[in-house]
């Protein structure tokens, strides 16, 4: 029960934190209204078509879209801490390589190792094959990139007597959570705890901090409001939305946790494939919209 609640509070809730940067942000909504309206419509139509063609095709594309989103977030957070450093240099290139190696190699390992006791969304969503050669070769590249990064950081420290601690903490955290969550341990709970926590909490914190920073520029608007009250509203609203969404999933589709979502047991379980083709894309719409919108909302003009 506890890990289900953890997913609810972090994974699903972090999806709804996007609301504060998009649909609940009056300036951004006015500036990008067409985009914000078009994306969920397109996501739903495409999802319905995919599920109608093949339900596993829908889950598979959704899983790979989620992986891309997770990887890009780690890259984006790392870049936040290197924005004042010269770009286009060997060091910045190596920063990119290490963050992608830290995330992509565990995914490659996962794909090349049958028998993992966890899935991204549903069983069979990843294309798993027993490819030991690819797994071993990619591991050598992974270690080579890690060694190159450590050596380069050491040389830079000896030369300039300075080190970017936040950047290295992000990189080290990414290496540890993705390696232990996917490669070292082989359990659903560990994967959920390490990868979901390391993704959801920083994302929510980033949304909150960024919106607070923007609001802080207008002292007249923020002076009359309590930061604590705003934070409580932020957390409460996304948790409530998360609970409602997970309750709908459990009541209509999964029916696995009546002890947590008891109020939703009155809902009829949907088993008809034609109806599921509309229900599941609708329930997953917050996620798909979040994945796509995230590619736009962190641009400088936002």
How far apart (Å, rounded) are the C-alpha atoms in residues 161 and 16?
Answer: 42
How far apart (Å, rounded) are the C-alpha atoms in residues 147 and 141?
Answer: 10
Report residue 173 as tokens. Answer: 């955290």
Report if residue 60 sits inside a domain. Answer: yes
Structural Rg of the chain based on CA atoms: 21
User: For position 273, what pLDDT does the model report?
Assistant: 92
Report if residue 66 sits inside a domain. Answer: yes
User: For position 277, what pLDDT does the model report?
Assistant: 96
Report residue 301 as tokens. Answer: 């003009």
Report if residue 207 sits inside a domain. Answer: yes
pLDDT in tens, the chain (302 residues): 556 666 667 889 999 999 999 999 888 899 999 999 999 999 999 999 999 999 999 999 999 999 999 999 999 889 888 888 777 788 889 999 999 999 999 999 999 999 898 999 999 999 999 999 999 999 999 999 999 999 999 998 888 888 899 999 999 999 999 999 999 999 888 888 888 888 888 899 889 888 777 666 555 555 545 778 888 899 999 999 999 999 999 999 998 888 888 899 999 999 999 999 999 999 999 999 999 998 888 765 55
Report if residue 302 sits inside a domain. Answer: no
How far apart (Å, rounded) are the C-alpha atoms in residues 86 and 269?
Answer: 55
- What residues have CB less than 8 Å from 60, skipping those under 6 apart? 124, 125, 126, 127
Report residue 50 as tokens. Answer: 């995919």
Report if residue 298 sits inside a domain. Answer: no
Q: Exposed (0-12), middle (13-18) or buried (19+): which is 168, by Cβ within 10 Å?
A: middle
Domain count of the chain?
A: 1
Report if residue 269 sits inside a domain. Answer: yes
Chain centroid to Cα 184, Å, comes to: 21
User: For position 199, what pLDDT does the model report?
Assistant: 86
How far apart (Å, rounded) are the C-alpha atoms in residues 54 and 172?
Answer: 39
User: For position 235, what pLDDT does the model report?
Assistant: 92
Alpha helix (H) ranges present in the chain? Answer: 2-6, 13-16, 26-31, 33-53, 55-80, 90-111, 132-160, 165-178, 188-191, 197-215, 219-222, 227-249, 273-283, 285-293
How far apart (Å, rounded) are the C-alpha atoms in residues 107 and 69?
Answer: 13
Report residue 176 as tokens. Answer: 């540890």
Prediction pTM value: 0.90
Report if residue 172 sits inside a domain. Answer: yes
User: For position 5, what pLDDT does the model report?
Assistant: 67
Domain that holds residue 145: 2-293
User: For position 218, what pLDDT does the model report?
Assistant: 53
How far apart (Å, rounded) are the C-alpha atoms in residues 15 and 291?
Answer: 8
Report if residue 301 sits inside a domain. Answer: no
């Amino acid at each position: 029960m506890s890990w289900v609640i953890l997913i609810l509070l972090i994974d699903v809730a972090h999806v709804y934190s996007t609301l504060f940067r998009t649909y609940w942000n009056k300036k951004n909504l006015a500036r990008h209204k067409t985009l914000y309206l078009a994306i969920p419509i397109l996501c739903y139509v495409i999802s319905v078509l995919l599920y109608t063609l093949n339900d596993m095709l829908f889950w598979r594309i959704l899983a790979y879209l989620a992986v891309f989103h997770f990887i890009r977030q780690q890259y984006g957070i790392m870049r936040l801490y290197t924005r004042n450093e010269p770009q286009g240099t060997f060091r910045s290139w190596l920063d990119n390589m290490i963050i992608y190696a830290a995330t992509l190699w565990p995914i490659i390992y996962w794909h090349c190792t049958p028998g993992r006791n966890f899935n991204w969304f549903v069983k069979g969503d990843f294309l798993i094959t027993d490819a030991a050669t690819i797994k071993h070769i990619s591991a050598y590249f992974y270690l080579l990139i890690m060694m190159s990064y450590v050596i380069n950081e050491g040389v830079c420290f000896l030369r300039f007597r300075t080190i970017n601690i936040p950047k290295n903490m992000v990189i080290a955290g990414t290496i540890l959570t993705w390696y232990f969550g996917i490669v070292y341990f082989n359990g659903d709970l560990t994967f959920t705890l390490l990868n979901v926590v390391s993704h959801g909490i920083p994302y929510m914190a980033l949304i909150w901090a960024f919106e607070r920073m923007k609001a802080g520029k207008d002292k007249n608007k923020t002076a009359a409001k309590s930061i604590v009250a705003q934070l409580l509203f932020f957390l409460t609203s996304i948790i409530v939305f998360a609970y409602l969404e997970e309750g709908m999933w459990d009541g209509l589709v999964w029916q696995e946790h009546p002890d947590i979502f008891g109020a939703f047991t009155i809902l009829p379980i949907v088993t008809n494939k034609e109806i599921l083709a509309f229900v599941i894309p609708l329930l997953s719409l917050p996620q798909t919209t979040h994945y796509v919108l995230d590619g736009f909302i962190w641009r400088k003009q936002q």
